Copies of this chain bind each other. A is one copy, B any other.
């Protein structure tokens, strides 16, 4: 269940350039709107190389999502430990929202790549959809563990609430519908923690 992301290190130089170009293009212009010819041009690579390395556009899309997932999974806990070092579990939970703001402000102003991808990948059989589901499942698991450590009355339910706030903040950030979604989300999280009787 977790071995699928471990194949990545063996990327040929061209395969890496392809993934780099695909990531920027898919995220900024949309998956369907970007053709493989353009990716090849941007990567300074032949279309044949793309198909030799990835087999199909759909597989490349899945690889793109997998890579972002991988990055997020290693970055988020590290960032939380860095900013909430020495703090309580509650501090850590709140730190995930600050981290979200940092993440979005730094490289992802167009919202969550997974939510955006889900909007385009309408075929339920697409390989990318599993990656999307896995990502949300992982985040919920991570939050749930923090909730347990924080002494929440019902950690699973609180994790659901926090996940919902995360998604809401990300969407509002991408739509620029509200000036500072991160602050709003932090306030909501605080209220949820309070209600769940978190002490730590």
Residues of A with Cβ closer than 8 Å to B? 28-30, 32-33, 110-111, 115-120, 122, 132-133, 136-137, 140, 157, 160-161, 163-169, 171-172, 174-178, 181, 184-185, 187-188, 191-192, 194-195
Contact = CB atoms under 8 A, between A and B. Distances in A.
Given A120-B32, A191-B192, A167 B172 contact: yes
Contact of A118 (B117, B168, B175): B175
Nearest to A168: B168
Contact of A119 (B116, B165, B176, B191): B116
Given A115-B171, A178-B160, A33 B30 contact: no
Nearest to A165: B168
A132 B140 CA distance: 29
B136 A164 contact: no
A76 B104 CA distance: 31
Nearest to A120: B30
B168 A122 contact: no
A164 B185 contact: yes
B32 A30 contact: yes
Secondary structure of the A contact surface, majority rule: helix
Contact of A165 (B110, B122, B164, B178): B164
Nearest to A115: B171
A2 to B, nearest CB: 18
Contacts of A171: 115, 167-168, 171
B122 A175 contact: no
Given A33-B122, A120-B33, A163 B172 contact: yes
Contacts of A168: 163-169, 171
Nearest to A159: B178
Nearest to A170: B171
Nearest to A193: B191
Contacts of A174: 118
The winner among A33, A116, A188 for most chain B CB atoms within 10 A is A188
